[in-house]
């Protein structure tokens, strides 16, 4: 069985993808993660779920020399799933160079080494943020990309462009860029999930931390948007569904000789759901009353964005399995598990 390299394997989506890869008989995996935004425990959690140890290299991908050592030691890598990147939109506005340096440099290094060591298949983590503030919904992959709204989003646009330029001079490589909408939830066992460092920026970790008493109350940013209930609309998608799409994308690249050298695919459920609806779903499935209030709009938030996901369904034969209730329940299970782990 050929070897698959996962960068950012201890991260939120990376770790769920490792579990799904193992469950689909990709057992020869290596991870590179320097734990800049993740925890070493993640690999214990992966082992608890799958029974497998995954070797991780604690290496900064911006360090070409150290990264190359991984490829020298592992000559039989047949696929790279490149998750590792900084991902906070707000922080990227405050610290643009941090984002340009890390997200771009690491991808440059990965591509250099993919070519030098003949790795044929590459999956790249992109984001629906590449679409910016868009009016025409749902969003399809052929929507022309506007000027990026944040340095983070720009690093994803540049990453996609870099891949295309790289592939033009690399006939032995193929790649798929997956554009994630809003990944939420946790592994159905509640043993693996998102581990935000400090105060969470994202909605669902903020909800679960409020419900468990770490935060006093959730502020819903704006209820005066032109939507049914006045709150913003997003396409929330279960992290395990996102993870499985990576396995399907990798299999597609490996097995379908007629597949184009480069493609880009949206990963969302196709359903636009308001912030208020997320809160309602959380309260319904957990039976917990959430302390929340309406506050002012958050600068930079789009009113509404959700995916046309037909391409993923057709091309990858992918169907999202989990609904909003599953997303809330698994996120809650994970939050309770984390609390227990901290107490013991």
Interface residue list for ligand UFG (CB under 6 A) = 87, 89, 127-129, 182, 201-203, 206, 218-221, 232, 234, 275, 298, 301, 305
Residue with tokens 């509404």, as numbered in its chain = 304
Which residue lies nearer to ligand UFG by CB, 107 or 275?
275
User: Which whole-number Å values give the CA distances from 59 to 29, 100, 106, 174, 301, in the listed order?
Assistant: 16, 18, 11, 25, 34
Q: What is the end-to-end Cα distance of the chain in Å, rounded? A: 39
Which neighbouring-strand residues pair with 40? none
Which residue lies nearer to ligand UFG by CB, 109 or 129?
129
CB of 179 to ligand UFG, least distance (A): 9
SS3 (DSSP) at 63? coil
And the tokens for 96? 């643009």
CB of 183 to ligand UFG, least distance (A): 8
The answer to whether the beta carbons of residues 5 and 81 sit under 8 Å apart is yes
d(CA 187, CA 212): 19
Which residue lies nearer to ligand UFG by CB, 71 or 83?
83
Which residue lies nearer to ligand UFG by CB, 174 or 238?
238
d(CA 33, CA 10): 6
Which residue lies nearer to ligand UFG by CB, 110 or 232?
232
CB of 172 to ligand UFG, least distance (A): 31
- Is 152 an annotated catalytic residue? yes
Q: How, if at all, do strands 273-274 and 233-234 pair?
A: antiparallel
Q: Determine the distance from the C-alpha atom of residue 179 to the mean position of all C-alpha atoms in its chain, rounded to a whole number.
A: 9
12, 57, 86, 152: which one is catalytic? Answer: 152
Cβ within 8 Å of residue 88, ≥6 positions away: 152, 201
Catalytic machinery residues: 152
């Amino acid at each position: 069985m050929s070897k698959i390299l996962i960068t950012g394997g201890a991260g939120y989506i990376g770790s769920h993808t490792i579990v799904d890869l193992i469950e689909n008989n990709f057992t020869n995996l290596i991870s590179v993660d320097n734990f800049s935004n993740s925890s070493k425990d993640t690999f214990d959690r992966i082992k608890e779920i799958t029974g497998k140890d995954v070797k991780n290299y604690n290496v900064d991908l911006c360090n070409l020399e150290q990264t190359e050592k991984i490829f020298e030691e592992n000559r039989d890598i047949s696929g790279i799933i490149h998750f590792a990147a900084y991902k906070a939109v707000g922080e990227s506005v405050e610290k643009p160079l941090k984002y340009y340096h890390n997200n771009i440099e690491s991808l440059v290094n990965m591509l250099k080494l993919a070519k030098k060591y003949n790795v044929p298949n590459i999956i790249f983590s992109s984001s629906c943020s590449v679409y910016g503030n868009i009016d025409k919904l749902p969003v399809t992959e052929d929507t022309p990309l506007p000027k990026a709204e944040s340095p983070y989003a720009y690093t994803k646009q540049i990453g996609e462009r870099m891949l295309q330029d790289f592939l033009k001079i690399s006939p032995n490589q193929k790649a798929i860029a997956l554009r994630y909408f809003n990944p939420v939830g946790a592994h159905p066992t509640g043993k693996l999930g998102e581990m935000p460092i400090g105060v969470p920026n994202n909605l669902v970790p903020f909800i679960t931390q409020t419900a468990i008493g770490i935060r006093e109350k959730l502020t819903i940013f704006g209820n005066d948007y032109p939507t049914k209930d006045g709150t913003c609309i997003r396409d929330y998608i279960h992290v395990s569904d996102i993870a499985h799409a990576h396995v399907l994308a990798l299999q597609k690249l490996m097995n379908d000789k007629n597949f184009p050298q480069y493609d880009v695919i949206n990963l969302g459920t196709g359903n636009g759901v308001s912030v208020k609806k997320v809160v309602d779903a959380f309260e319904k499935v957990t039976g917990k009353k959430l302390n929340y209030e309406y506050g002012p709009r958050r600068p930079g938030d789009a009113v509404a964005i959700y995916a046309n996901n037909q391409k993923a369904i057709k091309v990858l034969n992918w169907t999202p399995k989990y609904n909003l209730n599953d997303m809330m329940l698994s996120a809650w299970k994970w939050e309770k598990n984390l609390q227990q782990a901290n107490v013991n």
